[in-house]
Amino acid sequence: MESVKMAQMACPFLARTPVSALRQMSVSSANSASMSACPHALPAHSTPVAASAGGVMASVRQAAAAASLLESKSNRVAASTSTSALFKAAQSCPVFGHALAVQSVRRLGARQFHSATMAHTASIASTSTEQDMGRVPPRPFDAVPKPHSKPASASKKAAGAAKGVTEEPAPGGFNYDDFFKEQLERKHKDKSYRYFNNINRLAQLYPMAHTGTGEHVTVWCSNDYLGMSKHPEVVDAMKSTIDKYGAGAGGTRNIAGNAQLHLSLERELASLHNKDAALVFSSCFVANDATLSTLASKMPGCVLFSDSSNHASMIQGIRNSRAQKHVFKHNNLEHLESLLKQYDLSTPKIIAFESVYSMSGYIGHIKEIAALAKKYNAITFLDEVHAVGMYGETGAGVAEYIDGMDEMDIITGTLGKAYGVVGGYIAASASLIDMVRSYAPGFIFTTSLPPAVMSGALTAVRHLKTSPVERAGQQLHTRMLKSTLSDLGIPVVPNPSHIVPVLVGDAETAKSVSDELLHRFKIYVQSINYPTVAVGEERLRITPTPGHGPELMDGLVGALKTIWTERGLKTEADWMREGGKAGVGVVGGEMDQLVRAEDLKDMMDRAYPYALDTLSGKQAVKSA
């Protein structure tokens, strides 16, 4: 009787079978049944009802008999060997087979379970090969189901029931599923629901990619700003490292995951930013969150001052610190100082801001904020995520370019954008780095980045320390695109950086324009909406790279011109008549590029064996 109850608990099919029938089946012969008759192993178009009664009943007898074998101590050894036909039959059922494995652990112990299932597990693992990846049907632009759509089949309901998910909550209980659907419906109604396109960037055809259908498109919005993800030196370094050290790091930095490559990369990053030390994290989101939350929570009475346009990672770190905070208006030094002066010099203070704000392209007031920090005894936290690799003589960021790096106390950066790999880091004094290393859960309790990633990042950082080629190409193409779009009246949010935001002003329209560029013109530019940008300031975010030469640029400009004309979208002049929006159409809103023309000319002269006809962006570069 115990085996019958066990079978009913393990298998949803047996759970619906009367106890009397199960009792009779548990003492019947199982040898006459075929393993393929298990109701859980039926083809997708079949159901237990449609299957022959004899086959279904036989499969139930197999499962019940296998459970009975486990009940008897004298038969437990036989049930765990490969000679047991009944055990093999029960294992063929994906539901009951799993239940048998669980029962084996509980009754026979982990050692016997390991020996009985090792061969079966190995055979499953051997089927996970590269060719399996190609069997996934291409579905790049499938519409996401609406929140209240019905399940595709009754089998999904049965699967949910098997996993303990109920369709209706108990009386008076919280309806979790309805809550999730309501939250999603809000996103759909305000047009802020996010759709992810299937984009597979091709290293040998950069900046091209293929969609899930294999169709080639040009990517114009990647954060692989300098194309370092496909750089031969980076790729070769990662390949050789994975051959030598394997795929994974093996543990946290404290347990087997602290390799020489991690230490070498941290020394290189500290040198890059002229700091005592550096610390690598799994991402810069984690770096920002962990550092701000750790420092502000540990320093007694600490007060945080955060720019209103700061990235979500910094906002999260400030929230997690539970310290007192003030949000100052974006790039508004007067507002910041009015807040700082409210506190005594003895009060610990952190000013957190960015060098390049990635959705607008604006540049933070680095030297001015450093002066305020010194005046009011605060420390500075500068996020250079969208600047490292791209600005400065060695690629250390905007602070290096304007000669303000030594005035920053903490600099954070990423390895996943201009450096083309993945990961984040902070650079600061030795004591501050050691404190974060010793107290930050986001650093301590997570597996460290794999050696191959460390090797690729280290190679990219060293390359961009000396090479001006990639920075020159990016800056040149940015100038060319901004100038051309401006001449056509297409509304580019004015800014001094490498970001080219094209203002649309409506979430649904921005998404529609992005879709048309992709499907009609084979150009991928992601639309950006709330909460990343304010409502009414929705935009396309374009990021020219060294690989986006004149021919590709002509294609993008032509596509945007066609869409703006056919749809009658607002031009720069239209926004001006309405009083301006997001800096577009504002009198006196024009901005010079941060990288001066003479500096770009110098980079070009050092980078290429040919000269420029002009830096205006109107003519292509001629070969020498």
pLDDT at position 108 = 45
User: Which of the listed ranges 31-40, 51-60, 147-156, 534-543 does the model predict with the highest average pLDDT?
Assistant: 534-543
Residue from 379, 359, 375, 373 nearest 308 by CA: 359
Kindly give, in sequence order, each residue whose CB lies less than 8 Å from that of residue 520, ignoring residues fewer than 6 positions away. 559
Percent of the chain with pLDDT over 70: 71
Q: Is the pLDDT of residue 348 over 80?
A: yes
Of 188-192, 362-366, 434-438, least confident by mean pLDDT is 188-192
- Domain end call among 431, 465, 499: 465
Q: Is the pLDDT of residue 347 over 50?
A: yes
pLDDT at position 304 = 98
Q: Are residues 506 and 424 in the same domain?
A: no
Q: Is the pLDDT of residue 472 over 80?
A: yes
**Is 552 within the bounds of a domain?**
yes
pLDDT at position 15 = 58
- Domain end call among 421, 446, 465: 465
CA pair distance 550, 620, nearest whole angstrom: 7
564 or 192, higher pLDDT? 564
Each residue of 164-175: pLDDT tens digit? 555 677 888 999
Q: Are residues 301 and 330 in the same domain?
A: yes
Q: Could you tell me the CATH number of the domain that includes residue 577?
A: 3.90.1150.10
Kindly give, in sequence order, each residue whose CB lies less than 8 Å from that of residue 262, ignoring residues fewer than 6 positions away. 253, 280, 448, 449, 454
Residues in the chain: 624
Q: Are residues 568 and 512 in the same domain?
A: yes
**Is 110 within the bounds of a domain?**
no
**Is 99 within the bounds of a domain?**
no
CA pair distance 228, 238, nearest whole angstrom: 12
Each residue of 82-124: pLDDT tens digit? 445 545 555 556 555 555 554 554 444 444 434 443 344 333 3
pLDDT at position 184 = 96
Known active-site residue 561? no
Q: Are residues 306 and 436 in the same domain?
A: yes
Q: Which domain holds residue 240?
A: 231-465
**Is 163 within the bounds of a domain?**
no
DSSP tag of 525: -
pLDDT at position 1 = 53
**Is 107 within the bounds of a domain?**
no
Q: Are residues 263 and 212 in the same domain?
A: no
CA pair distance 53, 74, nearest whole angstrom: 32
Beta bridge partners of 167: none
Of 188-197, 293-302, 457-466, least confident by mean pLDDT is 188-197
Of 48-57, 193-202, 355-364, 433-442, least confident by mean pLDDT is 48-57
Residue from 436, 463, 404 nearest 278 by CA: 436
Q: Are residues 353 and 481 in the same domain?
A: no
Q: Are residues 215 and 235 in the same domain?
A: no
Q: Is the pLDDT of residue 309 over 80?
A: yes
How far is the first Cα of the chain from the last one, in angstroms, to the nearest whole number?
90
Q: Across the chain, what does the average pLDDT equal?
A: 81
Of 70-84, 409-423, 431-445, least confident by mean pLDDT is 70-84
Residue from 465, 599, 583 nearest 534 by CA: 583
Of 10-19, 461-470, 507-516, least confident by mean pLDDT is 10-19
- Averaged pLDDT for residues 498-516: 96
**Is 154 within the bounds of a domain?**
no
- Averaged pLDDT for residues 188-204: 90
CA pair distance 145, 124, nearest whole angstrom: 32
- Domain end call among 465, 482, 512: 465
CA pair distance 102, 620, nearest whole angstrom: 68
Q: Are residues 438 and 575 in the same domain?
A: no
Half-sphere exposure of 429 (CA within 13 A, CB side): 9
Q: Is the pLDDT of residue 428 over 60?
A: yes
How many separate domains does the chain show? 2
pLDDT at position 88 = 57
Q: Kindly provide the residue ranges of all beta strands, DSSP E only, lying in 49-152, ordered along the sequence.
A: none
CA pair distance 347, 119, nearest whole angstrom: 64
Judging by beta carbons within 10 Å of its beta carbon (0-12, 13-18, 19+), is residue 110 exposed, middle or buried?
exposed
CA pair distance 412, 402, nearest whole angstrom: 17
616 or 278, higher pLDDT? 278
- Averaged pLDDT for residues 394-402: 98
Q: Are residues 349 and 241 in the same domain?
A: yes
**Is 153 within the bounds of a domain?**
no
- Averaged pLDDT for residues 121-135: 39
Percent of the chain with pLDDT over 90: 67
Q: Could you tell me the CATH number of the domain that includes residue 383?
A: 3.40.640.10
User: Which of the listed ranges 130-134, 145-149, 170-174, 286-290 does the model predict with the highest average pLDDT?
Assistant: 286-290
> One of 275, 417, 570, 581 is an active-site residue; which one?
417
Q: Are residues 461 and 473 in the same domain?
A: no
SS3 501: strand
Q: Is the pLDDT of residue 285 over 60?
A: yes
**Is 286 within the bounds of a domain?**
yes
pLDDT at position 192 = 83
pLDDT at position 170 = 81
Q: Are residues 315 and 335 in the same domain?
A: yes
Q: Is the pLDDT of residue 75 over 50?
A: no
pTM of the model: 0.73
Q: Are residues 214 and 292 in the same domain?
A: no
Q: Is the pLDDT of residue 77 over 60?
A: no
